[in-house]
């Protein structure tokens, strides 16, 4: 059996590496139109940072795992074609700002149709709107010259989280496969199931119809993000009342019906998918006339924007209502720890909010490159366009300095803002940092990872999220 995956990104790369690693009898080829990305997958410097990924790639690469730009050849030869291309939010036209942009998906489907001379199982790995399979089937069917070629479409959404992708892939809570309730649809489900059964117990492989599988992915992300917005909304109330959000989260999380996971209050959720997938859900609800349902889910994104804005306003307020010309050190720029990914990271909006008030920003992140940070901060984003900051000019690039060393980044600054929960921040020598800073020295812990009592005993003024002063 040969598996070809279109899209060598955060999902395609690690997912196919795990399949190849666990299934030595299957040939796996990952193709991409981005030649630089493919070259990196074939090198010692993989294009993404993910703990444990390199070891798995190393074990399978050249054996039964290959990365190639020859999309046509490998798609033509594949029995199962995974499509793991990006499905970003549309930026223009109908549904702009909400609907999923399926341009890349449709491009992949047209490619499959044009080169196929044998029947194939086409697997939706990308996160797509419910009913995408129907549209894709039409594109495949009507663009394939050979009427004897059959396409069976499956939905097999991916639930991995960045930073823990390899663990998630090795021991997933579940694998979900959706297919048609026809004989050929069920047969295709069986084929894909047999791939996963190489290492996943069959009771963890859930089967559903196509629409349930597609909608389950959007719903899972919406529920996860909703928990974060819920606890973040409570963090605001904690600050106003003297309650401690970590104590509240612990108290409610011990109720097994609620559960303790995903209740860490933060400066806001980031990542390429939560916002995109909720907006997509909102758009689908609106298009089928479910306005109240759309409004409900939209509020999850609104609270997230509010949390980032609130964090900035609290900083400015604490620092005597002026941060103009003050140096602020941002510790962590990635959207979460153990990844170099900055897509939709809350750090972008927080930095832009601070820059709008003329602060000088020093940034240190263990994995994000300087070029990436400058690129992210030069794009127009929510905080910059927000009514409270409307009319301000573009961020000045020279107000941002990126450091390779946390201590250097903290020198002479007025405040530290922890925006990513990297473990190494907990181990910093804060006495040394305090001694090198301007006074009063502030800490704004947007992840509640530091020892606040210890920081206060050193002399810092500490503002922790959702905690009493």
Footprint of ligand UGA on this chain (CB under 6 A)? 127, 158-162, 221, 224, 228, 262-264, 266, 269-271, 273-274, 335-336
Q: Residue 132's closest CA among 75, 62, 85?
A: 85
Nearest position to ligand NAD, beta carbon: 9
What's the CA gap between 398 and 381, in Å, rounded?
18
For ligand UGA, give the closer residue by CB, 78 or 446. Answer: 446
**CB closer to ligand NAD out of 47 and 466:** 47
Residue 258 C-beta: closest distance to ligand NAD, Å: 25
| Nearer of residues 344 and 445 to ligand NAD, judged by Cβ | 344
CA distance 457 to 469: 14
18-49 core/surface letters (b: 16 or more CB in 10 A; e: else): bbbbbbeebbbbbbbbeeebbebbeeeebbbb
Nearest approach in angstroms of CB 275 to ligand NAD is 11
| Binding partner at 228 among ligand NAD, ligand UGA, none, C-beta below 5 to 8 Å by kind | ligand UGA
Q: Is 56 exposed, middle or buried (0-12, 13-18, 19+ CB in 10 A)?
A: buried
Annotated catalytic residue, options 23, 238, 273, 285: 273
Count CB atoms within 10 A of the CB of residue 173: 8
DSSP annotation of 288: T
Strand partners, 153: 122
User: Does 273 qualify as catalytic in the annotation?
Assistant: yes
- State the binding partner of 8 from ligand UGA, ligand NAD, none, CB within 5 to 8 A by kind: ligand NAD
Please give the DSSP secondary-structure letter assigned to residue 425.
G
264 interacts with, out of ligand NAD, ligand UGA, none, CB within 5 to 8 A per kind: ligand UGA
Q: Copy the structure tokens of residue 171.
A: 């021991």
**Rg of the chain over all Cα atoms, to the nearest angstrom:** 24
Question: Taking CB within 5 to 8 Å according to partner kind, which of ligand NAD, ligand UGA, none is near residue 269?
Answer: ligand UGA
Residues that bind ligand NAD (CB under 6 A): 6-12, 31-34, 37, 71, 84-87, 104, 107-108, 111, 126-127, 158, 160, 162, 272-273
| Least distance CB 174 / ligand NAD (angstroms) | 14
Shortest approach of ligand UGA to residue 370 CB, angstroms? 21
Tell me whether residue 106 or residue 137 sits nearer to ligand NAD (CB atom): 106
Q: Which is nearer to ligand NAD, 108 or 356 (CB)?
A: 108
Report how far Cα 146 is from the mean position of its chain's Cα atoms. Answer: 39
Q: Measuring CA to CA, which residue among 312, 294, 392 is closest to residue 350?
A: 312
> What is the number of residues in the chain?
469
Q: Of these partners, ligand NAD, ligand UGA, none, which one is at the site of residue 311 (CB under 5 to 8 Å by kind)?
A: none
Shortest approach of ligand NAD to residue 213 CB, angstroms?
A: 13
CA 285 to chain centre: 23
The residues that are catalytic are 273
């Amino acid at each position: 059996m040969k598996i070809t995956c279109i899209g060598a990104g955060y999902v395609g790369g690690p997912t196919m590496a795990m399949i190849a690693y666990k299934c030595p009898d299957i040939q796996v080829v990952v193709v991409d139109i981005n030649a630089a990305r493919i070259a990196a997958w074939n090198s010692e410097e993989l294009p993404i940072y993910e703990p444990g990924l390199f070891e798995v790639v190393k074990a399978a690469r050249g054996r039964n795992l290959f990365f190639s730009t020859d999309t046509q050849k490998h798609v033509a030869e594949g029995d199962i074609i995974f499509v793991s291309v990006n499905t970003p939010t549309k930026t223009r036209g109908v549904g702009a700002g909400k609907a999923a942009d399926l341009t890349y998906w449709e491009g992949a489907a047209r490619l499959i149709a044009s080169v196929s001379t044998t029947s194939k199982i086409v697997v939706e790995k990308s996160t797509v709107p419910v009913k995408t399979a129907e549209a894709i089937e039409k594109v495949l069917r009507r663009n394939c010259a050979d009427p004897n070629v059959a396409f069976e479409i499956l939905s097999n959404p991916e639930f991995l989280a960045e930073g823990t992708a390899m663990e998630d892939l090795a021991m997933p809570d579940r694998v979900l496969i959706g297919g048609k309730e026809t004989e050929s649809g069920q047969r295709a489900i069986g084929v894909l199931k047999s791939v996963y059964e190489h290492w996943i117990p069959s009771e963890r492989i859930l089967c559903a119809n196509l629409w349930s599988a597609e909608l389950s992915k959007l719903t899972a992300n919406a529920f996860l993000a909703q928990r974060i917005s819920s606890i973040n909304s409570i963090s605001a109330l904690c600050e106003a009342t003297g309650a401690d959000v970590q104590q509240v989260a612990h108290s409610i999380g011990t109720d097994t019906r609620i559960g303790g996971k995903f209740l860490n209050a933060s400066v806001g959720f980031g990542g390429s998918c939560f916002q995109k997938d909720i907006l997509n859900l909102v758009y689908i609800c609106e298009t089928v006339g479910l306005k109240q349902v759309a409004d409900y889910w939209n509020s999850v994104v609104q609270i997230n924007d509010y949390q980032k804005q609130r964090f900035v306003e609290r900083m400015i307020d604490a620092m005597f209502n002026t941060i103009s010309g003050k140096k602020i050190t941002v510790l962590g720029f990635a959207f979460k720890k153990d990844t170099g990914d900055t897509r939709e990271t809350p750090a972008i909006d927080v930095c832009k909010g601070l820059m709008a008030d003329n602060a000088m920003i020093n940034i240190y992140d263990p994995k994000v490159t300087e070029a990436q940070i400058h690129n992210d901060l030069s794009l127009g984003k929510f905080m910059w366009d927000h009514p409270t900051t409307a009319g301000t000019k573009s961020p000045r690039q020279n107000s941002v300095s990126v450091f390779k060393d946390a201590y250097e980044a903290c020198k002479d600054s007025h405040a530290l803002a922890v925006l990513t929960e990297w473990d190494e921040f907990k181990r910093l020598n804060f006495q040394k940092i305090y001694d090198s800073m301007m006074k009063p020295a502030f800490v704004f812990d947007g992840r509640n990872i530091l020892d606040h009592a210890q920081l206060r005993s050193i002399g810092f003024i500490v503002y922790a999220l959702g905690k009493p002063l």
